[in-house]
């Protein structure tokens, strides 16, 4: 869910492009100012907040993120970002 967009993931499970364009994109834009090309995990979290039946994780929702980092065997860099620069490709 971190290697493809929310649009790609939804299309793969049968959601129509029109629904993505008309509904999903509107929710993502309103919640995060992002398009349906944002990563699927972040998009799924945004879409979850758009409906009424939310859930929580025992021990805190932060366990979702720490669990995903552990499963992905991610290397976390504990540092402060001081600037962001766009390099053209």
Residues 32-79 pLDDT 10s: 788 999 999 988 888 877 776 767 789 988 899 999 999 999 999 999
Residue 61 lies in a domain: yes
Non-local CB neighbours of 28 within 8 Å, separated by 6+ positions: 6, 34, 35, 36, 38, 43, 46, 47
pLDDT-based confidence at residue 83 (cuts at 50, 70, 90): very high
Closest to 68 (Cα-Cα) out of 30, 88, 42, 37 = 42
Residue 14 lies in a domain: yes
What pTM did the predictor assign? 0.55
Residue 47 lies in a domain: yes
CA 13 – CA 9 distance, rounded (Å) = 7
Residue 87 lies in a domain: no
Which residues constitute the domain of residue 45?
A: 6-71
CA 30 – CA 12 distance, rounded (Å) = 24
If one counts every other C-beta atom within 10 angstroms of the C-beta of residue 13, the result is 6
Amino acid 76: pLDDT: 92
Residue 89 lies in a domain: no
Give the count of domains, the chain. Answer: 1
Residue 35 lies in a domain: yes
């Amino acid at each position: 869910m971190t290697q493809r967009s929310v649009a790609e993931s939804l299309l793969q499970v049968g959601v129509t492009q029109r629904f993505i364009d008309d509904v999903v994109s509107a929710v993502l834009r309103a919640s995060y100012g992002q398009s349906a090309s944002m990563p699927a995990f972040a998009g799924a979290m945004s879409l979850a907040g758009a409906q009424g039946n939310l859930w929580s994780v025992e021990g805190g929702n932060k366990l979702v993120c720490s669990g995903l980092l552990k499963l992905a065997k991610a290397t976390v860099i504990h540092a402060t970002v001081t600037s962001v620069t766009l390099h053209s490709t």
